[in-house]
């Protein structure tokens, strides 16, 4: 069955890999991101076409409930109901607690945590009605171990797994399975923004000896969204090269 899979934060490194993996799985992939239009949107879609994937692209602000509602309603009019949701959108606004502004706290919570609610609320009832659904929430290693200067990010990403477990309870008997993935340090533009000397120290602490790549996460997304993955829900998958073991 050609199920529709919606990925948020889709044009970044992780999001693009997720879109590619789900397309290769045979899903009809819908990419959603913020401020993606015009030449940038055309370039991203053309890159996917060259890879053999026709992926629809919609603009959405996951921090805005009404934007999420309008986006999903448009997708359902254009293509049909959403059966797979990957809540991948996320931002950082780092700073120690004594310097962290209310605006930086709120921005991260609104996108990284409330954004998952805003999107999930639009598709979860339909999944329950159809008695099939897959939701994957992208958390972080720093939700598990904490990180200096990331009280906002660590809190939001830890909240995602609590959100996952509660939804997993609600959806399990209706065939709606909900899981979390907690990536470690993956070679994306967000991680490459970390100063080189700090990134080198981080890489040296990872038991496998190197950063991950987006495909490491995307393969797990595809597994969790597979029709055959019927007995995994409420779980958190740590993909971090052994950097944090719990």
Please give the Cα distance from 208 to 186 (Å, whole number).
Answer: 13
Report the number of distinct structural domains present in the chain: 1
Share of the chain above pLDDT 90, in %: 83
Nearest to 162 by CA among 103, 214, 234: 234
pLDDT digits (tens, 9 = 90+) for 154-192: 999 999 999 999 999 999 999 999 999 999 999 887 777
Give domain status of residue 241, yes or no.
no
DSSP state of 89: -
The radius of gyration of the chain from alpha carbons, rounded to an integer in Å, stands at 17
Q: Judge whether 185 and 244 are in contact, CB under 8 Å.
A: no
Close Cβ partners of 103 (under 8 Å, ≥ 6 residues apart): none
Give domain status of residue 243, yes or no.
no
| CATH number reported for the structural domain that contains residue 167 in this entry | 3.40.50.720
Q: Judge whether 100 and 20 are in contact, CB under 8 Å.
A: no
pLDDT of residue 228: 96
What are the catalytic residues?
153
27-35: average pLDDT: 95
Alpha-carbon 70 to chain mean position: 20
Q: β-pairing, 4-8 with 176-183?
A: unpaired
Q: β-pairing, 82-87 with 56-59?
A: unpaired
38-50: average pLDDT: 88
- Tokens at 137, concatenated: 């929430």
Give domain status of residue 105, yes or no.
yes
Give domain status of residue 160, yes or no.
yes
pLDDT at 88 over 70: yes
pLDDT of residue 192: 76
pLDDT at 21 over 70: yes
Determine if residue 99 is left, alpha or beta; phi over 0 gives left, psi from -120 to 50 gives alpha, anything else beta. Answer: alpha
26-55: average pLDDT: 91
pLDDT digits (tens, 9 = 90+) for 144-157: 988 889 999 999 99
Give domain status of residue 242, yes or no.
no
pLDDT of residue 1: 64
Residue 71 domain boundaries: 4-235
Give domain status of residue 79, yes or no.
yes
Q: Judge whether 233 and 174 are in contact, CB under 8 Å.
A: no
Give domain status of residue 43, yes or no.
yes
Alpha-carbon 78 to chain mean position: 23
Give domain status of residue 48, yes or no.
yes
User: What's the Cα-to-Cα distance from 187 to each of 13, 18, 153, 211, rounded to whole Å?
Assistant: 8, 14, 18, 6
């Amino acid at each position: 069955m050609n199920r529709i899979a919606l990925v948020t934060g889709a044009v970044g490194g992780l999001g693009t890999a997720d879109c590619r993996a789900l397309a290769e799985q045979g899903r009809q992939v819908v990419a959603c991101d913020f401020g993606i239009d015009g030449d940038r949107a055309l370039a991203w879609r053309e890159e996917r076409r060259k890879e053999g994937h026709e992926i629809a692209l919609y603009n959405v602000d996951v921090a805005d409930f009404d934007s999420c509602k309008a986006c999903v309603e448009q997708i359902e009019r254009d293509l049909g109901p959403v059966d797979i949701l990957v809540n991948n959108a996320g931002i950082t606004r780092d700073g120690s607690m004594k310097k962290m502004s209310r605006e930086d706290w709120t921005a991260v919570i609104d996108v990284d945590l409330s954004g998952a609610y805003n999107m999930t609320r639009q598709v979860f009832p339909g999944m329950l009605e159809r008695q099939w659904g897959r939701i994957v929430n992208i958390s972080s290693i720093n939700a598990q171990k904490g990180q200096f200067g990331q009280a906002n990010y660590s809190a939001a990403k830890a909240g995602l797994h609590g959100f996952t477990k509660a939804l997993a309870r609600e959806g399990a008997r209706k065939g709606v399975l909900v899981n979390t993935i907690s990536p470690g340090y993956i070679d994306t533009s967000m991680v490459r923004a970390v100063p080189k000397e700090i990134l080198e120290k981080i890489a040296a602490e990872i038991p496998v000896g190197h950063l991950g790549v987006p495909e490491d996460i995307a393969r797990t997304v595809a597994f969790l969204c597979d029709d055959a993955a019927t007995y995994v829900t409420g779980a958190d998958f740590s993909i971090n090269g052994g950097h944090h073991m719990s």
